[in-house]
Amino acid sequence: MQWLLAVSFGEIFLKGRNRNTFYKTATNNIKRNIKDIGYEDMYSESSKLYIKANRKDFDRLTEEIKKVFGIVYISEVVKCEKTLEDISKTSKEMIKYYEKEKDLTFKVESKRTDKSFSLTSPELNAKIGADILKGYNDLKVDIHNPDFTVFIDVKSSAYIYIKRTRGLGGLPLGSSGEGLLLLSGGIDSPVAGFMMAKRGMNINAIHFHSYPFTSKRAHQKAMDLAKILSKYTGKMTVYSINLAEIYKAISKNCPRRETTILSRRFMMRIASKISEKYEYQALITGESLGQVASQTIESMSVINESSKYPILRPLIAMDKKDIIEISEKIGSYEKAIEPYDDCCSIFAPDSPVTKPKLKYIEKSEENLDIESLEDEAINNMEIIEIA
């Protein structure tokens, strides 16, 4: 028996003429993730990728491969000859590795890519199921809700597997353009970056702080969140922008109730300039409709007007509970709830405007030297590479 890891892809194989590009991107991302562990060989056959490696490394390889977007399952498979005798023998042998309890139920599920094989899929299911029952008296068949399934893929050889691990799904990273994530130190923005990366977008980030009004620990918290996110997105560039002078100018020259909206418009304009310089195609935020004052539909409409680029809000209709669940899943939640204030919370007014009018906001902005303030912030930014 030859043990392999099999990688099953999801939406990639629905992409028509772009299929090969998506597949190549996903494969390259897998190679990137497992290069430090190592493998002997890698080949594709009938929509699956097979990886030959030392079996003692399978668990580590699976952990790294399942971080790659575009994958629905990673399976530990045995490759054998495409004969009834070998398929039956291998199927019964494999159960030894997974049978830990008595009175378990199972079913057999086969697919024939090679239509010249002597039995149809239902016939093969029945034949192998009967052979397994003869060899294991404690097992019973349950085709609706089995304890485990014996999967058989009949191709140029036969591939048989029971254990499979669910992947993240989505599209391969890098297949859907370049996005710039507005990364705060909170729960939402890392989840937003993860969600857009899952749809195939390359993610880089911009972080706004207001040192010395906020601490260096708050800034480091955001960088730590970027590192956690980079486990899924790969290498990431973070543009760190100090908004202290901008906040001081807003506080001095504009109504305090408008601070949040005015500062968000500054963020979008600065992010747009960074995007133009470094060729990002969209901005990404962790906003969820109605969650805070700046996330009413009126506020977001006014904020949208300040950006040259589309603003993607993947969390827009999600409940906080659902966002937290994803945050816990990707490992960012514990870091995100550390009690360090970000620039938004430090300067947030007690009674912020929730239904701003664009004409009034633009009137307030006439009191500010917008171009000069933005250029100064960009000229003093720090560029941090997250590996």
What residue numbers does the annotated binding site for ATP cover?
182-183, 207-208, 264, 286, 295
Closest CA to 349 of 259, 263, 228, 215: 259
End-to-end CA distance of the chain: 39
Strand, helix or coil for residue 327: helix
DSSP 163-217: EEEEEEESB-TTSS-EEEEE--SSSHHHHHHHHHHHBT-EEEEEEEE-TTTS-HH
309, HSE (Cβ side, Cα atoms, 13 Å): 26
Whole-angstrom Cα distance, residue 357 to residue 299?
8
In the chain, alpha helices (H): 19-34, 58-65, 84-98, 121-135, 188-198, 216-233, 244-253, 259-278, 297-304, 320-330, 333-336, 343-347, 358-365, 370-379
- Binding site residue list: 182-183, 207-208, 264, 286, 295
Contact predicate 151/75, CB 8 Å:
yes
Whole-angstrom Cα distance, residue 79 to residue 155?
10
Contact predicate 192/284, CB 8 Å:
yes
